[in-house]
Amino acid sequence: MKRVIAYASVAHMAITIVGLFSFNTQGVEGSIFQMLSHGIVSGALFLCIGVIYDRGHSRTINYYSGLVQTMPFFVVIFLIMTLANIGFPGTSSFIGEFLILTGIYQTNFVAVFFSGTSMVLGGGYALYLFNRICYGNLKLSYVGFFKDINRLEFFVFLPLVLLVFIMGIFPDIFLVPMESSIDN
């Protein structure tokens, strides 16, 4: 599970580097915004894997299936973070990726094509991970007795979920302060 999230993380950082090398305001702004978003989203995804590991003491995907039946609230949080990871509109990653692609488009269309392709592939294996873990037949011998997230885990995830939506809905809170230094 950690390996799949790490591969998606590498794909996001590759797009961020391409955005930095666009050498225009939108590309650099998008790259910085995406770095902030990536720190929140990837950290939350690794926390999600930590919650699963805490219950089952394994990070192997094949051991888990059907968690939506025993841990529905956890699955909602995991879904929000997975959607943020793939750049769903309204989440923080969408703003960063959109700005990066807009900035890259101003300099090189071929780079936009390859960056978009890597974003689609990263989204594919993030959704693959979510689908394999959360849906399917419940493996009673392994995950049948898992408990949903507790109060402490909820209060760890709450600020991360809020930040993902605040950055996705109100990006100017973060973009306006960095605009003058990026222009210089």
Residue 151 confidence class, pLDDT cut points 50, 70, 90:
very high
Least confident segment among 44-53, 76-85, 113-122: 113-122
Question: How crowded is the C-beta side of 31, counted as CA atoms within 13 Å?
Answer: 20
Contacts of 146 (CB under 8 A, 6+ apart): 55, 56, 67, 70, 71
Longest dimension (CA), the chain: 60
Please state whether the predicted TM-score (pTM) of the whole model is above 0.85. Answer: yes
H-only helix segments in the chain: 2-20, 25-56, 67-70, 72-85, 92-105, 109-134, 140-143, 151-169, 172-183
- pLDDT class of 130 with cuts at 50, 70, 90: very high
Contact 139, 64 (CB under 8 A): yes
Residue 57: left if φ>0, alpha if ψ -120 to 50, beta else—which one?
left
From the centroid of its chain, how far is CA 112?
Answer: 20
Going by C-beta distance under 8 Å and a sequence separation of 6 or more, which residues neighbour residue 140?
Answer: none
Please tell me the distance from the alpha carbon of residue 95 to that of residue 101, in angstroms, as a whole number.
10
* CA dist., res. 94 & res. 155, Å (int): 25
Q: What is the pLDDT of residues 21-74, one digit of tens each?
A: 999 999 999 999 999 999 999 999 999 999 999 988 888 888 888 888 889 999
What is the pLDDT of the chain when averaged over all its residues?
91
